[in-house]
């Protein structure tokens, strides 16, 4: 399994043992699954960056690729149409290689107004259109909660990563059993 993402999947600001790939693998193993989770997160990456590297960042023997991109696009105000197009192309690239996909969503803060509404629809729409499982919001239970974030208020701390891994593991377990 591979986590294709940005700083959140790369473990920004955390020791490698606390990063999401490690914690997700632990959560899945606690459920009795024999898995290896490879991290393919690049801090600062956008969906465009993920698209540029999906061919070499996701190995051919990957049994599931969790696509966890979009947060930096949102922070940079990238047009949601571009974000959608990039994610569609990433999913198409993975499907062409017979690699199953799980799409991890991202949400924009409500103060982003109309942009937030358009951005937030991307993930559920694509999951339906492409018939891939989704984890609706990667930062569920963590976003905007100071207890679970580093001082920057964006990147999860070790406890926040555990919450993300536990939530994501539920959906990953189902995706692997299909």
Check whether 178 has a pLDDT greater than 80: no
- Of these residues, 60, 61, 152, 177, which one is catalytic? 152
Q: Give whole-number Cα distances, 177 to 12, 26, 111, 127, in Å.
A: 30, 18, 38, 18
pLDDT, tens digit, for every residue of 94-122? 999 999 999 999 999 989 999 999 999 99
Question: What percent of the chain clears pLDDT 70, i.e. is strictly above it?
Answer: 99
- Of these residues, 6, 7, 57, 73, which one is catalytic? 7
Return d(Cα 160, Cα 145) in angstroms, integer. 9
C-alpha triplet 160, 162, 166: angle, nearest 5°: 120
Q: What is the pTM of this model?
A: 0.96
Confidence band, pLDDT 50/70/90 cuts, at residue 177: confident
Residue 93 known to be catalytic = no
Torsion, CA 96, CA 102, CA 108, CA 113, rounded to 10: 70
The predicted structure's pLDDT at residue 89: 98
Assess contact for 105 and 138: CB atoms under 8 A: yes
Residue 7 known to be catalytic = yes
């Amino acid at each position: 399994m591979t986590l294709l993402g940005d700083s959140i999947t790369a473990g920004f600001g955390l020791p490698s043992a606390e990063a999401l790939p490690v914690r997700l693998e632990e959560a899945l193993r606690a459920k009795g699954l024999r898995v290896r989770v490879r991290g393919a997160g690049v801090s600062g990456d956008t969906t465009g960056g993920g698209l540029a590297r999906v061919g070499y960042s996701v190995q051919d023997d990957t049994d599931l690729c969790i696509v966890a991109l979009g947060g930096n696009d949102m922070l940079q105000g990238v047009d949601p149409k571009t974000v959608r197009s990039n994610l569609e192309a990433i999913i198409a690239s993975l499907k062409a290689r017979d690699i199953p996909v799980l799409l991890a969503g991202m949400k924009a803060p409500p103060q982003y107004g109309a942009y937030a509404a358009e951005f937030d629809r991307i993930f559920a729409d694509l999951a339906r259109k492409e018939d891939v499982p989704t984890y609706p919001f990667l930062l569920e239970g963590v976003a905007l909660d100071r207890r679970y974030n580093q001082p920057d208020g964006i990147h999860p701390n070790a406890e926040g990563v555990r919450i993300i891994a536990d939530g994501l593991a539920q959906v990953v377990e189902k995706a692997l059993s299909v």
